[in-house]
Amino acid sequence: MHYLTRLAGALACAAPALLTAQPVTTESLIREMTDMHALAAFPDPAFKTVQFSSFDRRSTLPGEPGWYSNADGFGNEPIPAFEAVLREPGEDGVGEYLICDIQSPGAVVRCWTAAINGRIRMELDGRAVFDGSADDFLRRPFDVLGAAVGVDPAVFNGSFNQQNASYCPMPFAERCRIVWTGDLKQVHFYEVQARVYEAGAEIETFAPDDLAASIETIRETSAALAAPGSRMPPAGGVELPIDATVGPGAAADLLVLGDGPGAIARLTLRVRAENLDLALRQTLLCISFDGAQDAQVQAPIGDFFGAGPGVNPFDSVPFTVEPDGTMTCRFVMPFARAATLRAVNLGGQPVAVAGSAARTPWDWTDRSMHFRARWRVDHGLVGDPQNPQDIPFLLARGRGRYVGSSSIMLNPTDVPTPGGGWWGEGDEKIFIDDDTAPSTYGTGSEDYYNYAWSIPDIFGFAYCGQPRNDGPGNRGFVTNHRWHIVDSLPFHDSIAFYMELWPHRVTPGYSYARVGYHYAAPGLIDDITRITPDDVRPLELPAWSARAEGGARNSTFLEAETALRSHAGVSAARGNLYSGGGAAIWRPSAAGDRLSFPFTVGEAAEYTVGYCAQLSGESGRVRLWLDDQDEGAAEIDLHAPARTILRRVELAAQRLEAGEHTLHAEFVGEPGRTIGIDFLWVQRR
């Protein structure tokens, strides 16, 4: 969709109003990055958040041919993935392309790239503010702009810069024009999110000097973003205890609040049960504000806190999950009269729920909104790259603000690499108000969650994370989240949020749960569905054996529990986490103990040799080398606190002659640690 059409809809997001808000400045936007109270009120001045990205321009109308096209910036796409071609490529292949031209008050609030060549020039109100590396602009603009005015770039790392994204707000009073100069034949992924404010909004245009002038606010904000659980502002208010036991099939009030207005500024819960993982999925958290017949928050407790399945620790601005299962929510939940928190046990075991809530005062006005979280799940989905499908996260009519997403996926692929086993090739598509095409159209599910190339890494930042990914590759239970704070998505009349399900190969048996977090004014209508016991039924990983396809093509797999069963100190672990239903667990008696893994290659060629390793809280360190090449050994730390996951570990590719070879492993960790091996992995390059 051409940017003029897109912005016409954005500027119609609200009728011009008499504005009483304070001017929007670089510093005020930086303060918003940790201001959880501001999210609970409709913004003043009003704005619409739009996204300019390298999505495939053949995707025009929902359901029409080309809707699921996927040439999103890989290079050589059929239609240049930009708003306009400003200068055709020359003999060197380099051309000039328009990313955006916003001719109204606004602010750039988020940028992202997986990889991009070339340069970007950004002009704000007709003045060049950035002219340099496109990769720098999309990943770390404040590093470059701050260094020019004496600000140490280190202050932005891990806080303003998060995984592959940057949250570096840059407001403008009249116009933002961003142009890319580069080679279309090379990779050029990009996303630029911007607020488009209503007419009359008072904006002070960004200049690099703002970073030096706001350095104390930047340092304070950076500290909170880097360690939200310990550095976010305290909730304050009155601390109210929560302690209840809920029997099978029963419900219990956790907290009943009256005498509003007020707000729950922080909610902390911990669940105890014989089967904790099952309790976290089968015990619902239901929060009703102001007597609502359908609770505004309805979700399994673990999924609501972004922890599921089970307890997977992470630390973010709105949620922190600790290794002991303590879960904290910092989304502010205001109410005009009353609030009720209930636990509903859809399972067959008693569940204890304890914790506390901080109640604070709240001035309820016509801009105030209730907090909402809608959970839904689809079991038994068939993912098909020839037949992608749009999965709804939230469909609603009314006024509100979208503030976050969490997806909880069971990916049953038997390809042990991201290539061939990836579930999320599809894009997010978000329709706001009168959009006829998405005003936010993404370039891939992992791109929405701020990472790239379907990496299996466990990571966490202030606004995004992947706290669980069983592996190997993207197999098993996978949990992702992203919180929209400075890039929240206000809507006046409606929102429709979809994410494409598009795996690399036909894969039956997906379970796809998700939560859409948002605020809404009273009267919002959404696509609520009651959560049933079948929705929260126990999920188990299917039995599997590693398949040599996709990124694992030309591979040979040897199951370790069979090949190493006669080795001293080796026992078998069982379960469907492991290929073939089992893994070898080596318990060395002391550092220096060795294990040998013989294998055969049929012909001389270059090979990568390693194994699929178990990482857990009990795992230690190991040195690997091949044949008699001890000088080329690689030392690998397999310790992963609070998790049991599978990851590929490997030596550098090398030429092997046909015949017998041996992979050697030497234990170099602390006594009592284990080395888990699912299967030997030999891959011809």
**Same domain as 675, residue 623:** yes
Q: What is the per-residue pLDDT across 116-167, written as a single tens digit (0 to 9) for each?
A: 999 999 999 999 999 999 999 999 999 999 999 999 999 999 999 999 999 9
Q: What is the pLDDT of residue 568?
A: 87
Distance, CA of 286 to CA of 263 (rounded, Å): 16
The answer to whether 148 touches 208, Cβ cutoff 8 Å, is: yes
Q: What is the per-residue pLDDT across 553-588, written as a single tens digit (0 to 9) for each?
A: 999 999 999 999 888 899 999 999 999 999 999 999
Q: Which of 187, 211, 231 is the last residue of a domain?
A: 231
Q: What is the per-residue pLDDT across 293-340, written as a single tens digit (0 to 9) for each?
A: 999 999 999 999 998 899 999 999 999 999 999 999 999 999 999 999
Q: What is the per-residue pLDDT across 15-36, written as a single tens digit (0 to 9) for each?
A: 333 345 689 999 999 999 999 9
Q: E strands within 569-639?
A: 570-574, 582-586, 594-601, 605-616, 621-626, 634-637
Q: Identify the helix (H) or strand (E) that includes residue 145.
A: helix 141-147
**Same domain as 179, residue 311:** no
| Total domains, the chain | 4
Mean pLDDT of 454-481: 98
Distance, CA of 532 to CA of 513 (rounded, Å): 13
Q: What is the pLDDT of residue 586?
A: 96
pLDDT value at 3 more than 70: no
Q: What is the pLDDT of residue 15?
A: 37
Which structural domain range is residue 431 located in? 372-530
pLDDT value at 1 more than 50: no
Mean pLDDT of 401-428: 98
**Same domain as 251, residue 165:** no
Distance, CA of 423 to CA of 409 (rounded, Å): 9
Mean pLDDT of 445-471: 98
Distance, CA of 247 to CA of 404 (rounded, Å): 31
Q: What is the per-residue pLDDT across 601-655, written as a single tens digit (0 to 9) for each?
A: 999 999 999 999 999 999 999 999 999 988 889 999 999 998 999 999 999 999 9
Mean pLDDT of 110-116: 98
Query: Looking at the domain assignment, is residue 382 inside a domain?
Result: yes
Task: Give me the CATH number covering residue 502.
Answer: 2.60.120.1390
Q: Which of 231, 253, 275 is the last residue of a domain?
A: 231
Mean per-residue pLDDT of the chain: 95
The answer to whether 383 touches 502, Cβ cutoff 8 Å, is: yes
**Same domain as 633, residue 503:** no
**Same domain as 660, residue 627:** yes
**Same domain as 78, residue 203:** yes
Q: What is the per-residue pLDDT across 651-671, written as a single tens digit (0 to 9) for each?
A: 999 999 999 999 999 999 888
- The model carries a pTM of 0.96
Q: What is the per-residue pLDDT across 488-542, written as a single tens digit (0 to 9) for each?
A: 999 999 999 999 999 999 999 999 999 999 999 999 999 998 999 999 999 999 9
Q: What is the per-residue pLDDT across 523-537, written as a single tens digit (0 to 9) for each?
A: 999 999 899 999 999
* Percent of the chain scoring above 90 in pLDDT: 94
Q: What is the pLDDT of residue 7?
A: 55
The answer to whether 487 touches 462, Cβ cutoff 8 Å, is: no
**Same domain as 147, residue 27:** yes
Distance, CA of 210 to CA of 232 (rounded, Å): 23
DSSP secondary structure string for all residues of 450-465 = T--TT----EE-SSEE
The burial of 641, by beta-carbon neighbours within 10 Å (0-12 exposed, 13-18 middle, 19 or more buried), is given as exposed
pLDDT value at 12 more than 60: no
The burial of 321, by beta-carbon neighbours within 10 Å (0-12 exposed, 13-18 middle, 19 or more buried), is given as buried
Q: What is the pLDDT of residue 382?
A: 98
